[in-house]
Amino acid sequence: MSLLEAKSLETALERGKAQRLTFDHLSYTHLRDDVGQVPKGSVILDDGTVIPGYPSIARIQALDPGIGKQFEGPFWAEEKMDGFNVRIFQHEGQCYALSRGGFICPFATDRLNDLLKPAIFDDYPHLILCAEIVGPGNPYLEGHSPQVQEDVDLFVFDMMVCNEEGFLPQAERMALVEDYGLQPAEIFGRYQPEELNELAELILQLDEEGKEGLVLKPENQKQRAKYVTGRSNIYDISVTGEALLDLPPEYFTNRFLRMGLFMAEHGQQHDHDRLNELGHAMMQGLFRAVQESQKNGRVSNHYRCRFNHRDNADRFMEHIELTGGQRVKVHRGMPRQEGDYWVLEFERIHQRMTGKINQALQGGRQFD
Amino acid sequence: MSLLEAKSLETALERGKAQRLTFDHLSYTHLRDDVGQVPKGSVILDDGTVIPGYPSIARIQALDPGIGKQFEGPFWAEEKMDGFNVRIFQHEGQCYALSRGGFICPFATDRLNDLLKPAIFDDYPHLILCAEIVGPGNPYLEGHSPQVQEDVDLFVFDMMVCNEEGFLPQAERMALVEDYGLQPAEIFGRYQPEELNELAELILQLDEEGKEGLVLKPENQKQRAKYVTGRSNIYDISVTGEALLDLPPEYFTNRFLRMGLFMAEHGQQHDHDRLNELGHAMMQGLFRAVQESQKNGRVSNHYRCRFNHRDNADRFMEHIELTGGQRVKVHRGMPRQEGDYWVLEFERIHQRMTGKINQALQGGRQFD
C-alpha cells in the first residue's frame, strides 16, 4: 500500500508543506503539514516508506458523561506519561527516533541503544514503536513522570506499521511487548463505559501519585481520549514559572480551568491542601526566576543530557543553536566526556521574563 | 488658552479619531485617540471647553531602587483605590461624570447628587474633580476597595482645570478638599526618596488591610508612579475567575508576576498563608463558574446598581446593551423602583467560559 503518491510529495515540497532533511547518512522528507490523508509529522524515506505522524488525542474533562458519550464498548486505560513522544523505526540495520514533529532527534536516536532492546525489529522490520522518553535528563521539557528520577527511560505505548494507517490492536501490542521484553507505559486494565466509579478511583490514585493521567483506547473504534489528573496541572505550573511570560499565557489559564473542572468533578472543592499546593506551585518558579535574575541577570531553565556518541551531541547542539537562536546558551567546553558518555549542559533563556524581571528589579517604569 | 484648535478637531472627526456624542441636552466631542497635545479620553464641549483625559500612571515594581530612580525630591503617598476613575465637571449648572475613556457615564452622573457636595463648582466653575467611584454597587467592575461595603462611594484624588494641562498642586488640592468638605482618597504623607523603610512599612500595612496600593505624586516634577500591594493581585484573581478565558490571559499572568516580585521584595517567599490564599483565590471563581454552568447553563457576573432617575437607568441600559451586545443580559422588569431609587440588575455573560465549561461538563471532546 502506498499512503502517498510521489507526485503529491513533489507538489508538497514545492509548496513548502514538506521539507528534505538529512541525518548522518539518512535522507528523508518531513511533512510540515497534512498532505492528502498523510498527517503532518509524517516522514517519508527515499525508498518511499512512510512513517505516519502520531495523531492528536482529544481531551475529555468529565468522566461522567464523557466516557459514555465517547465510548460504545470496552476500552483500555493506560498511563499517560509526562515526557516526549517519539516514533522509533529501523532502516538498513539502524534505529532512529522521530520527534512528534517528524524530525530525527539526535538525542533520542543516540540513546536508543541504552533504552530499548532492538530484537523486535529483526522479526518485524516494518514496525514502528511509539514511546515516551521520560526523565530529568531530557533536553526538551521541564518536568517528568515520577517513575524516572535520573537520566531518561523509555516506555512503549503504541505500535504502528510503516505505510499503514492506525495502530496495532491492543492484544497484539501487549503480546509483542511481552515477547520482546519491552518496557510498556503501564496498562491499568480494560474497562466498560459503565465503570465510572472504578475509573474515578483509578484517576484519583494517579492524582495522589503525581502522575499525569490516562489515555483511553477503545477496542473496536478509532477515537481515543485522554483524561488528566488535577495535580498534573499543579505540577506543570510548578516547573514552568520561569517561563511565565514566554510560554503562551493560555498555557497557564487552560491548566487552571482543567484543575478547577477536575476538582469540581471529584468533589475536591474543599481540599485545602490541594489548593494550598497550587498557590505554592504558582509562585515557586517566579521566586526562582527573581533569584536567578539577581544572580545572573537572566532567567532560564537548565538542561543536562547525556549522549553515547559525540557526533550526536554535536548534531543536537547544532540543531538547538539553529532553532533556538539567542534563546539557547550552550555552556563552555560542551560536550564534556564523563565516563562512557558525552554530557551536554545548556540553558534555554526566557527572554521576556529576563527583560521584564530585570527591568522591574532595576526600578524601571512600566506602562501596562 | 486653547489646547485644541477647531481645525484639528474637525480633521480628527473626519479621521474617526474623535466622535460626536450627546447626553441628555449636552452634546460633546470625545477623543478616541490623542489629537496633537490633547490625550485620548479628553472631551470637548460645544463652546470649545476641553476636559483633558486622565493620563496613565507608570508602575514601579521595586521600591529599591525604583523610588530613588524615579523621584528626585519629596513626593506624596496616597491610596490607590480599587474602583473606576471619573472626571467630574459642571456645565450650565449641571454636574457630569466622565469615564476614563471620555464618555459621560449615566450611572456616575446620576449618583453625583448623593456622593458629592457640588458647592466647590460655584466658586471654581472650571474645576475638574478626578475621583474614584468605589463599591459593590458599581456597574463595571468585580471587586472594590474594602472601605465601601455597600452601594458606592466617591473619593477625590486629583483636580484639574478645564483647558489646562496637568493637575492642581498638592497643597492647593488638599486645601480645597478641606474647605469644601470633599472626601479624599487617603493621603498617607509626604516622603523623601530615602525613606524606603517607611514606604515599605506603609505598603505592607496596606497589603495587610487588603488595599490596592499607592500612587506617588512628586511635588516638583511631573512623572508619578503607582506601586501596588501583593495581595491586590490575589484579590483581583479571586473575583475574576468566572472570566478566566474571557479576560486577556495576560490579566492573570501579569498579576502572578507582580505578586512574585512583591513577595520577593518584601521577603515573603515563605509566607505560607499568603501562598495558600493565592491557591484558594485562583480556584474559587472557577468553582463558582462550574456551579453556575450546572445550574443556569451560563457563566456570568452579576451586577446590581441604583439610580436616582429612571432616565439615567434607561440611558445606562441602552449604553450597555449597545456596547455589550449578547454578553449583557438585563433582568426582566428592570429598572425596578425600590424606595427612592431605581434599581438595575443585570449580568455580563462570559461567552468563552460558558462555551468551554458547558462543553466540558457535557463530556465533549476538546483538542488543545
Q: What is the pLDDT of residues B34-93, one digit of tens each?
A: 999 899 999 999 999 999 999 999 999 999 999 999 999 999 999 999 999 999 999 999
A364 with B225: Cβ contact below 8 A: no
The one-character DSSP state at B59 is B
pLDDT over 70 at B2, yes or no? no
Q: What is the pLDDT of residues A248-305, one digit of tens each?
A: 999 999 999 999 999 999 999 999 999 999 999 999 999 999 999 999 999 999 999 9
pLDDT over 50 at A92, yes or no? yes
Hey, what amino acid is at B203? I
Question: In sequence order, what DSSP letters do the residues of B155-224 get, joined into one string?
Answer: EEEEEEETT--S---HHHHHHHHHHTT--BPPEEEEE-TT-HHHHHHHHHHHHHHT--EEEEEESSSS--
Please give the CATH number for the structural domain made up of B52-228.
3.30.470.30
What b/e string do you get for A194-204 counting C-beta neighbours within 10 Å, with b at 16 or more? ebbeebeebbb
Q: What is the pLDDT of residues A58-80, one digit of tens each?
A: 999 999 999 999 999 999 999 99
Please state, rounded to an integer, the average pLDDT across all residues of chain A.
96
Q: What is the pLDDT of residues B305-332, one digit of tens each?
A: 999 999 999 999 998 988 887 799 999 9
Find the mean pLDDT for residues B287-306.
97
Find the mean pLDDT for residues A135-150.
97
Find the mean pLDDT for residues B120-124.
98
Contact of A310 with A342, CB cutoff 8 Å: yes
Find the mean pLDDT for residues B181-208.
98
Find the mean pLDDT for residues B345-362.
97
- Phi and psi at A84, nearest 5°, equal -120, 145
Here the ipTM equals: 0.95
pLDDT over 80 at B3, yes or no? no
pLDDT over 70 at B155, yes or no? yes
Cα dist. B171→A366, B85, B164 in Å? 28, 22, 18
pLDDT over 50 at A16, yes or no? yes
Among candidates B282, B287, B368 on the partner chain, residue whose Cβ is nearest the Cβ of A278? B282
pLDDT over 60 at B296, yes or no? yes
Find the mean pLDDT for residues A333-341.
97
The one-character DSSP state at A176 is H
Give me the percent of chain A exceeding a pLDDT of 90. Answer: 94
What local confidence, expressed as pLDDT, does residue A354 receive? 98
Domain ranges for chain A, please list them: 52-229, 231-296, 300-349
Q: Where are the alpha helices (DSSP H) in B229-325?
A: 230-240, 250-265, 272-296, 310-324
In B, which residues are within 8 Å of A281 by CB distance? 279
Find the mean pLDDT for residues B160-166.
95
pLDDT over 80 at A83, yes or no? yes
Please state, rounded to an integer, the average pLDDT across all residues of chain B.
96
B363 with A245: Cβ contact below 8 A: no
Contact of B66 with B52, CB cutoff 8 Å: no
Give me the torsion for CA of B354, B358, B360, B361, rounded to 10°.
140
What local confidence, expressed as pLDDT, does residue A1 receive? 43
What local confidence, expressed as pLDDT, does residue A6 receive? 85
Among candidates B59, B241, B248 on the partner chain, residue whose Cβ is nearest the Cβ of A365? B59
pLDDT over 90 at B366, yes or no? yes
What local confidence, expressed as pLDDT, does residue A323 receive? 82
What architecture does CATH give domain A231-296?
2-Layer Sandwich (3.30)
Please give the CATH number for the structural domain made up of A52-229.
3.30.470.30
Distance of residue A208 Cα from the nearest chain B Cα, in angstroms: 18
In B, which residues are within 8 Å of A287 by CB distance? 260, 263-264, 269
Among candidates B223, B275, B364 on the partner chain, residue whose Cβ is nearest the Cβ of A279? B275
Distance of residue B230 Cα from the nearest chain A Cα, in angstroms: 12
What local confidence, expressed as pLDDT, does residue B1 receive? 43
